Amino acid sequence: MVCAVLHVDKREEEPKLSCKWLADLSQVNEEAIAACDQAYDKAKFQIGKTFPSKTNGQKQQQKPQKKDKEEVTAKEVSQAPIEYHLDADHVRLSHILQLKKIFEEHRGSTPVHLHFAAEGRQIASLQIAAPWGVTPSPAFNAAIKKVTGMN
């Protein structure tokens, strides 16, 4: 079994698959998870710069056009993300899977930023965008507090 960060390029007739990072899943530890997160963030950033997303079948411009303040719509105003810090020295894969379940149960439009720290320094960040965000509620907050290593 392997764990990988893959990119699928669908710009041409036949999709192309490229591997950005690969590890033996039986050997995964916190260090490998951090390396995977970093590889994913790097690949996402590079691909975003190289392959701009498409809207309505047309490529978006690399640089957005400037708008007057009156032209900014409510959709363009992003919601402030919920920030969480996880102690990577105490968080295990089971805790991450627990978080995933909680996020699925409370799916919403509020973005979430997870910051992983080990030995007092940040080692990785995970940003969950609005379409896959959460709906904050007392039940959501109570579930999050039960996850080991969260603060």
Assess whether 109 and 146 both reside in one domain: yes
Task: Say if residue 11's pLDDT is above 90.
Answer: no
- End-to-end, the C-alpha distance of the chain in Å comes to 32
Number of compact structural domains in the chain: 2
Assess whether 24 and 89 both reside in one domain: no
Assess whether 145 and 85 both reside in one domain: yes
Assess whether 101 and 43 both reside in one domain: no
Assess whether 96 and 151 both reside in one domain: yes
Assess whether 29 and 86 both reside in one domain: no
Count CB-CB contacts under 10 A for residue 51: 13
Distance CA 140, CA 36 (A): 27
Residue with tokens 């609005």: 130
Average pLDDT, integer, range 91-110: 87
Q: How much is the pTM? A: 0.48
* Within a domain: 71: no
Assess whether 91 and 133 both reside in one domain: yes
Residue 57 has what pLDDT?
A: 45
Assess whether 48 and 91 both reside in one domain: no
**Tokens found for residue 140:** 């959501």
**Domain coverage including residue 83:** 79-151
Would you place residue 55 in the very low, low, confident or very high pLDDT band (cuts 50, 70, 90)? very low
Task: Say if residue 61's pLDDT is above 80.
Answer: no
Cα 150 to the center of its chain, rounded Å:
17
